[in-house]
Amino acid sequence: MGFEDASQVCTGILSSSDTGKKTTALSLNSIINLDHGDPTMFEPYWRNLGEKCKLVISGSDVMSYFSDPGNICWFLEPKLANAIRVLHRLVGNAVAEDRHILVGTGSTQLFQAALFALSTPDAPEPISVVSTAPYYSSFKEEVEFLRSGLYKWQGDAKTFHKEGPYIEVVTSPSNPDGTIRRAVVNREGGKLIHDLAYYWPQYTPITGAADHDVILFTFSKCTGHAGSRIGWAIVKDEQVARRMTKFMELSSIGVSKESQLRAAKILEVLNAGLQNGSGSENFFEYGRHIMAKRWFELRYIVKSNSKIFGLPEYPVEFCNFSKGTTIAHPAFAWLESKQDEDIEKLLRAHKMLCRTGTRFGSEQKYVRISMLSRDEVFDEFLERLAAIKGGTENQ
Amino acid sequence: MGFEDASQVCTGILSSSDTGKKTTALSLNSIINLDHGDPTMFEPYWRNLGEKCKLVISGSDVMSYFSDPGNICWFLEPKLANAIRVLHRLVGNAVAEDRHILVGTGSTQLFQAALFALSTPDAPEPISVVSTAPYYSSFKEEVEFLRSGLYKWQGDAKTFHKEGPYIEVVTSPSNPDGTIRRAVVNREGGKLIHDLAYYWPQYTPITGAADHDVILFTFSKCTGHAGSRIGWAIVKDEQVARRMTKFMELSSIGVSKESQLRAAKILEVLNAGLQNGSGSENFFEYGRHIMAKRWFELRYIVKSNSKIFGLPEYPVEFCNFSKGTTIAHPAFAWLESKQDEDIEKLLRAHKMLCRTGTRFGSEQKYVRISMLSRDEVFDEFLERLAAIKGGTENQ
């Protein structure tokens, strides 16, 4: 199931556009869509900050194609580049100083830009692209849909034995299962893309500053602003940065300036909160609190129903950001059917749309469930999940 | 020369970001970059409208991936779709009622989406893509850069004789030469993409409402807001609209909401000006006036130097929008060297960067020159062009 099923995403959710607030009317017959990782959970946080986050754009602002003509990434707003560098320094999750920062239309565009940049135009055959299963469900389709002669999807990195150059995509924490990943092929001629979309304190302990050749992040999962379609890459090599920029020039002549200004504004407010405050001013502590609460509730229901359902366990680790031991609360739950059922079908029969494990190079006894929906949707999901076997009478 | 030469684009132009006004300090040694069609000429118009065009976005606005879940193009903001339909009705340049409207990250992304949608995944060979020369210089690179197995660039439509299915791109008015174009291959199995980026009253007489299978427009050239990266397609066939949407889902999971809201706001102000006012409230009349003035000045200099330079002539036609006879004032000047020189090299020696005719599938005795730069850049360009042969003493 992909975004083509968008028509089902908001069933039962009424939007009051005047106030910007969402009101719900989830009926028993509503379909709940937890297929996408639409991070609407974070809306109340940003709404509560009110005027602070307000962006004003005048009619004649940012009309040019160019943001920073002297920079390799000539369409990158300097304010955004600066906010990104400050953010990584404060969170400690990646080395961004003395690196090239590139902006993309979401990390989706940057992933494809990296494939283009790391492939060789005059190679005798397309370079292999692999990722450890279960891998992000869109990688395969994004690599394959244009039938590029530059690169070719080869599936699970764990079973990849082909000679020659390859690109390994390392998603850590993993989408869908939240585990911490390392490159597994480790052969000569290998090139790495590190997709660290979920390496933020609300989802996982920050155990060190990532320092890889190509790292991808996305505004969507950092702050919840998916609609802005802003991603960024941190790139070591100048030629790779130039080729990735070339990709974005050819595919879209750069990236929305309005979204870049918005992202810069939001990140500046976020950074100021980290520098000055604590508690509600610390977005990541706020996020971690909600995620922990949701995971506690989900684990309680799954444990009460442990003959039917299972969830991965995550290690307790020291988080450099929180200055204490914490545990992962991933953006997705990788729910397992203990009875080897087609669990996506089972949940669908109970009006919950989730993404089947087979889409991630795994089995149909697994399903990926978004943990980032609005409160009312998440609460309804828990109720329906708990009701699947009629409570705990069969325990 | 491409966007990679962006470092030279703003030479001599200082921006005063506090006021949003541009001040210039063009020295004799400055390089003038007229290679790109950066439409900064329109900045003063939008600046003068002040508060009317101001867009305010709060911290919790448009956070979701979804704009209109029930629509095929689920990431299209309904306000923008509505403003686009009203605009085409008022201008009379395209039929947009009862058609699918799709939004893209500029028309660049939509062009590639259309290639994807009009190709056949299981075809024995890639579909041919052609366009009448001189054609837009980026078409070739956009078709070729990923070495897609779905489509293949075959160059000039006038000399295309291969059997089988093909896609013909019809850019009208033409970029680079401003002429009105029709499809020229006209064979069975042909599919058409109409790129009407410049079919607006400031550039050309509006002689009728275009009604084709796939039409592309871009906010950049309509109002001058290139930085927003907003384009739109008007599509007749539902399956083509779905495939194009699928392309934008896979390449960027939709399009910036902030840019869409900005474009909607600007187009609403523009539409209101067309409905209520005249003179300065009519953006297109304002634009036409400036373009006519610039073309008058350029033609005067070229005529004074007619042994060296030449320009295309355009027919006088009745413009349905202006309700009178008008003539084209294209966004680019297609300047010819009467002495068969490499004119790009000649102009470069005089510190003017333009795009050589060979990039457009034409000859090096032609060069494309942007007519959309800021006033001070355009004025300096005219002075330098006039000085090339030291005035008119050789006439």
* pLDDT score recorded for residue B13: 37
- Binary contact (B249, A224; C-beta < 8 A): no
Residues of chain B contacting A250 with CB distance shorter than 8 Å:
108, 138, 141-142, 145
Residues of chain A contacting B52 with CB distance shorter than 8 Å:
59
Question: In chain B, pLDDT over 90 holds for what percent of residues?
Answer: 87
3-class DSSP state of A325:
strand
| Structure confidence at residue A21 as a pLDDT band (50, 70, 90) | very low
pLDDT at A219 over 70: yes
Contact status, residue A334 vs residue A311, Cβ threshold 8 Å: yes
Beta strands B100-105 and B230-235, pairing class: antiparallel
| Structure confidence at residue B110 as a pLDDT band (50, 70, 90) | very high
Residues of chain A contacting B53 with CB distance shorter than 8 Å:
58-60
- Binary contact (A58, B63; C-beta < 8 A): no
Distance from CA of B95 to the nearest CA of A (A): 25
Residues of chain A contacting B40 with CB distance shorter than 8 Å:
63-64
Contact status, residue B201 vs residue B359, Cβ threshold 8 Å: no
pLDDT at A20 over 70: no
Mutate which: A258, A353, A375, vs B, most B CBs within 10 A:
A258
Min mean pLDDT across A196-200, A229-233, B13-17 is at: B13-17
Domains of chain B: 13-49+283-387 (3.90.1150.10), 78-275 (3.40.640.10)
- Binary contact (A59, B64; C-beta < 8 A): no
Rounded alpha-carbon distances, angstroms, from residue A94 to A45, A382, B237: 25, 35, 46
* Cross-strand bridge partners of residue B151: B127
Q: Which residues of A325-340 are buried (b: 16+ CB within 10 A; e: fewer)?
A: ebebbbbbbbbbbeee
Residues of chain B contacting A116 with CB distance shorter than 8 Å:
145-146
Any residues with CB less than 8 A from the CB of B36 and at least 6 apart, and which? Answer: A65, B3, B9, B370
Min mean pLDDT across A92-96, A217-221, A290-294, B391-395 is at: B391-395
Rounded to the nearest angstrom, the gap between the alpha carbon of residue B186 and the centroid of all alpha carbons in its chain is: 25
Q: Which residue has the higher pLDDT, A184 or A36?
A: A184
* pLDDT score recorded for residue A39: 94
Beta strands B127-131 and B166-171, pairing class: parallel
pLDDT at B395 over 90: no
Distance from CA of B392 to the nearest CA of A (A): 36
pLDDT at A390 over 90: no
- Binary contact (A257, B227; C-beta < 8 A): yes
The pair of three-digit structure tokens given for residue B282, joined into one six-digit string: 């009519």
H/E stretch holding B171 reads: strand B166-171
| Residue in chain A nearest B75 by alpha carbon | A227
* pLDDT score recorded for residue B29: 75
* pLDDT score recorded for residue A25: 55
* pLDDT score recorded for residue A276: 86
- Binary contact (A251, B39; C-beta < 8 A): no
Distance from CA of A198 to the nearest CA of B (A): 17
| Structure confidence at residue A279 as a pLDDT band (50, 70, 90) | low
Residues of chain B contacting A55 with CB distance shorter than 8 Å:
56-57, 258
pLDDT at A352 over 80: yes
Residues of chain B contacting A108 with CB distance shorter than 8 Å:
250-253
Contact status, residue A31 vs residue A43, Cβ threshold 8 Å: no
Mutate which: A33, A47, A57, vs B, most B CBs within 10 A:
A57
The pair of three-digit structure tokens given for residue B394, joined into one six-digit string: 């050789």
Digit-coded pLDDT (tens) for B323-378: 999 999 999 999 999 998 999 999 999 999 999 999 999 999 999 999 999 999 99
- Binary contact (A63, B256; C-beta < 8 A): no
pLDDT at A344 over 90: yes
pLDDT at B2 over 50: no
Distance CA B284, CA B300 (A): 24
Digit-coded pLDDT (tens) for B130-144: 999 999 999 999 999
Cβ neighbourhood burial of A175 (10 Å; 0-12, 13-18, 19+): buried
The pTM (predicted TM-score) of the whole model is: 0.94
Contact status, residue B174 vs residue B334, Cβ threshold 8 Å: no
Residues of chain A contacting B262 with CB distance shorter than 8 Å:
57, 258
Q: Which of A67, A108, A147 has its CB closest to that of B150?
A: A147
- Binary contact (B65, A109; C-beta < 8 A): no
Distance CA B106, CA B108 (A): 5
Q: Chain A to chain B, count of Cβ pairs less than 8 Å apart? A: 257
Q: Which of B223, B175, B206 is nearest to B331 (CA)?
A: B175
pLDDT at A210 over 90: yes
Contact status, residue B213 vs residue B236, Cβ threshold 8 Å: yes
Q: Which residue has the higher pLDDT, A132 or B390?
A: A132
pLDDT at A252 over 70: yes
Residues of chain B contacting A145 with CB distance shorter than 8 Å:
116, 247, 250
Distance from CA of B30 to the nearest CA of A (A): 15
Average pLDDT, chain B: 92
**Which residue matches tokens 């990390």?**
A107
Entry field: residues in chain A? 395
| Structure confidence at residue A340 as a pLDDT band (50, 70, 90) | confident
Residues of chain B contacting A246 with CB distance shorter than 8 Å:
4
Q: Which of A9, A44, A256 has its CB closest to that of B258?
A: A256
| Residue in chain A nearest B251 by alpha carbon | A109
Digit-coded pLDDT (tens) for A40-90: 999 999 999 989 999 999 999 999 999 999 999 999 999 999 999 999 999
Distance from CA of A325 to the nearest CA of B (A): 31
Contact status, residue B186 vs residue B211, Cβ threshold 8 Å: no
Distance CA B117, CA B138 (A): 19
* pLDDT score recorded for residue B239: 98
Q: Which residue has the higher pLDDT, B80 or B18?
A: B80
pLDDT at B390 over 70: no
Rounded to the nearest angstrom, the gap between the alpha carbon of residue B179 and the centroid of all alpha carbons in its chain is: 14
